[in-house]
A and B are shown apart, each in its own frame.
Chain A
Amino acid sequence: MERIAIIGIGMTKIEANKKGDTFADMAWEAVNKALNDAGMTIDDVDNVITTSNDFWDGRTISCMAVGDASGVRNKNASCVEGDGAFGAFYGLSRILSGSYGTTLVTAHSKGSESVSSLITNAAFDPIYERALGLDMITACAMQANSYMHRTGTRPEHLAMVSVKNHGNAFHNPMAQLPMKITIDDVLQSEMVADPLHKLDCSPVSDGCCAVILASESRAQKYGGRPVWVKGVSFCSDSYFLGDRDLAIPRSLKAAGQKAYSMAGITEPSREIHVAEVYDAFSYQELMWIEGLGLCEEGRSKDLMEKDAFHLKGTLPVNPSGGLLSGHPVIAGGLIRIAEAVRQLRGEAGDYQVDGATRAMAHGINGLCGQSHCVWILDSAK
């Protein structure tokens, strides 16, 4: 792939309820932070991709609300619906197409203004499934059970993910829920949908993230610190839950393998130094780690017991605290990318992974990880 860099990142603090901010206010903050970070002005941005979802925003043409604030006025612009990692993919392809030198990508959500259960219930087929009353949490609980049954993973292992990520969040000033908790705290928290306790689930969050991509010739023009894109791929599994083996993330494996092959990675568990994966629920982190080939099938629980995924472990996962510590839905994957950039620049402060030069970031669309987008980033060109 032609060389493309991420040259700017900006995000709002992730909070439970940004009462004072509209969608546009959040976008304005994230975009200006990203421009400052990159050493650019909005005039240096050739085109803009915003990422949003009409259901989560309660607005038709939800991108319209953030256009002004994202600086689209005199530019080519478009809008991806779904996770921000997919929005960033489209932003990248518009540079690779030779049409633009720089792309500003944003993604936002205000969970505080949404009813998650109704919105995710609307993702189920209106004829065959919706009346069952399933939503994201209950569907993912089925997936968790299915994964735990296949691998012998126990609720304690899920709880370890929550303890680790909420602990990591203590070092991240942007995180919503830094918490010092124990495995027992997780297991004793309210049972939301068996086997998922409240502390196995990500919170309701508000936030926006902005990322600026650039072609090789523009990447070093503005004095920022470019991080280079080595691979990106996405893939969708079948739709109906009954058509999938929920315990095996088939499309994640395919997306990961493609991204690794673009990046020339043959042993991901050794060659990836830090991973920001989409941990909307605790079990997902364990499951995605395996799907991404970062450890052997069914082994994440064992490695979790050995603290392998901790900040000082052999393969730190979600050192930022992950989505369990703050989950503005549509921005989730873009925040993972921004956090990976932070790590590769060595700017992650107290959650810096020592010597990280290659990182993986991950975003999801749909129910139970139907569609995955995988990014491989490198500090070297």
Chain B
Amino acid sequence: MGKKRVAVVGTGQTFHKSHRPDVNGQELINEAVRRALEDSDLKIADIDAIVIGNMDHFEGINYVDCWSVDGSGGFMKPIIKLTTGGTTGSTLAMAGYHIVASGLFEKVLIVGWEKNSESDTTGAITTAFDPVWDRLVFAGAISGLAVEAQAYMAKYGATDRDAARVSVRDRKHACNNPHAQLRKEVTIEEVLMSPMLADPIHLLDVCPRTDGACAVIMASEDVAEKICAVPDWIWGTANRHVYSYLGDVNWGELDSMFHASQELFSKAGIKEPRKEIDVIELYQPYSFAGIIWIEDMGIAERGKGAEYIWSGATDMEGELPINPSGGVIACNPIGATALIRCAEAALQVMGKADARQVADVKVAVSTGFGGCMWTDMLLHGREKPDY
């Protein structure tokens, strides 16, 4: 055994909605798992191991790996849980990659899920921060993001109108995605007129709370092409969980994205990401991130993110479409959100993205964001990597 190349061979998503009272957690998980198995024409007996994750305090269930067995199909299988906040889904995808690449397991089922309707999201997220230094200042997720947006605006002169353009893009894209929770086009004026949640973030700049699950099946190179005619090869993974304290953050730039993307692109020999990448599924929980983080990723120059967005380059027909799925702003079952990015990137590479398909995708990027301004990244490609 040793290093194996790894590909996504199947994906499944639930019917994502703000509230799914028709299913309990195990049933929600099962809905995604069955669809992924169906998509890859595999049976649960074919699965060698399961990786699962969510955010514990959103459902208030401890040891979810154990509790979820009836839904995930983990009975008498190896099952492992990972949790890293917003990055959970990408953390799961990376774990799936490594345990398949290790040669220990051939076919691995990866499940991310959340029933946000059962939680007080802000109450739960607030406990992530240090009780002495950070918790009293940064309540929930939105306050840190507002600080980031303010710092960037002060530095580069961007406006909330620039951010609104990102929201307009993603919400338009979402109309092509049957899995997106919010499928309604908005105008820039509507975004700017929507209630101010945390200056400069308006309601329509930010992600919703969603009930949903996503399942992804990864397989080793020994079987991937037998299972799937056009598998989505994982070219590499990289991440940075840079900070423990929000007070330490270099606000206005996403350091974790900068360092993770540098590492990832150099691993794969990508020198001009803007030209070499065909589509990005960016974990973008609010619109300003769509401007700021593409600079850290090297897609736009520092301070030029807004200009790049206004050019239409990241729209469906642009040179580098971002979030053809509609992204996080349109759908956000947190523990699944970053895994949905991975699944959507895989669909693009496989050519199975239907109405949201970008033409001829050879290279795709999916990301996760969470914790204390952390970034996870996966690089996807149609060609089997030669390294």
Residues of A within 8 A of B (CB): 1-2, 24, 53-55, 58-69, 72-82, 86, 89-90, 92-94, 96-99, 119-120, 122-123, 125-127, 233-240, 250-251, 254-255, 365-367, 370-371
Contact = CB atoms under 8 A, between A and B. Distances in A.
Given A64-B128, A68-B243, A236 B62 contact: no
A365 B70 CA distance: 16
A365 B94 contact: no
A69 B130 CA distance: 14
Nearest to B56: A54
13 contacts: A55-B57, A61-B371, A68-B243, A69-B244, A78-B239, A86-B80, A93-B102, A123-B61, A238-B69, A238-B75, A239-B70, A255-B78, A371-B65
Contact of A61 (B1, B83, B102): B83
A1 B372 contact: no
**Smallest CB-CB A-B distances: 4 pairs:** A98-B3, A366-B66, A96-B102, A97-B101
B387 to A, nearest CB: 10
A98 B101 contact: yes
Q: Most chain-A Cβ atoms within 10 A of its Cβ — which of B81, B84, B91?
A: B84
A371 B66 contact: yes
B82 A78 contact: yes
Given A78-B239, A96-B2, A370-B69, 16 more contacts: A55-B57, A58-B127, A60-B124, A64-B244, A68-B245, A76-B263, A79-B241, A82-B80, A86-B80, A86-B81, A90-B80, A94-B98, A97-B98, A250-B76, A366-B66, A371-B79
B60 interface: yes
B342 interface: no
A122 B62 CA distance: 5
Contacts, number: 198
B104 interface: yes
A235 B105 CA distance: 13
Q: Most chain-A Cβ atoms within 10 A of its Cβ — which of B63, B74, B85, B243?
A: B63
A118 B67 CA distance: 16
Contacts of A72: 241-242
B77 interface: yes
B24 interface: yes
Interface in B89-106: 91, 94-95, 97-99, 101-104
A152 B252 CA distance: 67
B50 to A, nearest CB: 8
A90 B108 CA distance: 14
B128 A59 contact: yes
A81 B79 contact: no
B259 interface: yes
Nearest to A78: B91
Nearest to A262: B104
B66 A234 contact: no
B1 A2 contact: yes
B66 A123 contact: yes
Nearest to B64: A81
A336 to B, nearest CB: 17
Given A72-B241, A96-B2, A238-B70, A60 B128 contact: yes
Interface in B166-187: none
B99 A93 contact: yes
B104 A96 contact: yes
A345 B53 CA distance: 36
B33 interface: no
A90 B61 CA distance: 23
A223 B194 CA distance: 62
Contacts of B237: 76, 99
A115 B326 CA distance: 42
Contacts of B129: 64
B239 A82 contact: no
A82 B63 contact: yes
Contact of B2 (A89, A98, A123, A250): A98
B55 interface: yes
Nearest to A122: B62
Nearest to A58: B127
B231 to A, nearest CB: 18
Given A64-B372, A238-B70, A97 B79 contact: no
Contacts of A370: 63, 66, 69
Q: Most chain-B Cβ atoms within 10 A of its Cβ — which of A55, A75, A82, A120?
A: A82
B370 interface: yes
A239 B82 contact: no
Contacts of A78: 82, 84, 91, 94-95, 239, 241
Contacts of B243: 67-68
Interface string B212-241: 000000000000000000000000011111
Contact of B67 (A61, A86, A93, A125): A125
Contact of A366 (B4, B63, B91, B124): B63
Given A78-B91, A97-B102, A365-B66, A60 B60 contact: no
B201 interface: no
Nearest to A240: B70
B101 A99 contact: yes
B125 interface: yes
Nearest to A52: B83
B67 to A, nearest CB: 6
A111 B356 CA distance: 49
Nearest to B132: A22
Q: Most chain-B Cβ atoms within 10 A of its Cβ — which of A60, A66, A234?
A: A60
